Amino acid sequence: MAKLSNDELIEAFKEMSLIELSEFVKTFEDVFDVTAAAPVAVAAAGGAAGGEAAEEAEQTEFDLILESAGSAKIAVIKEVRALTSLGLKEAKALVDEAPKAVLEGVKKEDAEAAKAKLEEAGASASVK
């Protein structure tokens, strides 16, 4: 197999859906016995130790997390599809794998509105 450059790998990742990329990361972690989330935890711990100045900074981007689909799974899948550009298969996988991020890096108003729509469909969600 030919060795791919970093740029070629990045281009390949850009063509993948969020679900496909998530599955790749899980496979990568399993094959190499590593955890991709470890640097994030270290960075978060370091950021928390940064002092009160970091806490005073106002958060401008929020993530909408689907906690559970509830009893109306089909309605929740439809709502996830309406909120995102995911296909049916990807939306179903996201709902099945809850808790999972539905929207990332959005304005608080958008996250709250999407949360209300998901909860109206029967899901439980949170904004972080």
Phi-psi category of residue 33: left, alpha or beta, with phi > 0 → left and psi -120 to 50 → alpha: left
Which residues have C-beta within 8 Å of that of residue 128, sequence separation ≥ 6? 62, 63, 65
Phi, psi of 26 (to 5 degrees): -60, -45
Residues 41, 35: contact at Cβ < 8 Å?
no
Q: What pLDDT is recorded for position 42?
A: 47
Q: pLDDT of the chain along its 128 residues, tens only?
A: 578 888 888 888 888 887 888 788 888 888 887 776 545 444 455 555 555 555 556 778 888 888 888 888 899 889 889 888 888 998 889 889 878 888 888 888 888 888 898 888 888 888 88
Strand order in the sheet with 100-106: 100-106, 62-68, 124-127
pTM over 0.85: no
Q: Report the distance separating Cα 113 and Cα 28, nearest Å.
A: 35
User: What is d(CA 65, CA 78) in angstroms, rounded to the nearest whole number?
Assistant: 16
Confirm if 65 and 106 have CB atoms less than 8 A apart: no
